Amino acid sequence: MTTRTVLFLCPHAAAKSVLAAAEFDRLAASAGLAARGDAAGTDPDPVTNPAVVAALAVDGVDVSGRRPRRVAAAELASAWKVVSMGCDLDGIAAPGQPVLRWDDVPPVSADLPLARASIRAHVERFIADLLREDGR
């Protein structure tokens, strides 16, 4: 079975997309979904948000070596699914490329627990939709 990639995007690739990819990986594995999450952004920060690194470490997820990176048009085109949280993809995404928008996720800098809860709820619904899409 081929593992498909879900690309999570937030502008700085340092917080929301990192949290979403980690949550997606956890839930996809427990659901038996052959997919993995990846994180990128349109204007990446130099480092992953330290509060996000610490929060994920508590859950046993080590992203301390992860560096935010800029999304490329080729990886958008090759991703199974693309989820954007506040990114402008004009000029990067192919015209008509489907992009799921989660622009209602609150800023991590304002309230990390609230942002995580919002992301978790989105990911849970997304996984359920993907499972239905796969006929499960």
Report domain extents, the chain: 4-133
Q: C-alpha distances in angstroms, 5 versus 23, 91, 115, 129?
A: 14, 21, 23, 16
Q: What average pLDDT is seen over the chain?
A: 94
If 0-12 CB within 10 Å is exposed, 13-18 middle and 19+ buried, where does residue 56 land?
Answer: buried
- What is 4-133's CATH number, 3.40.50.2300, 3.30.70.1400, 3.30.70.260, 3.30.1360.40? 3.40.50.2300
Q: For the whole model, what pTM was predicted? A: 0.95
The pLDDT tens digits of the residues spanning 97-115 come to: 999 999 999 999 999 999 9
Is pLDDT at 53 greater than 80 in this prediction? yes
Q: Is 53 left (phi over 0), alpha (psi -120 to 50) or beta?
A: alpha
Query: Looking at residue 24, what is its pLDDT?
Result: 98
Cα atoms found within 13 Å of the Cα of residue 18, Cβ hemisphere only: 29
**Residues above pLDDT 70, as percent of the chain:** 99
Residue 104 structure tokens: 């209602």
Is pLDDT at 25 greater than 90 in this prediction? yes
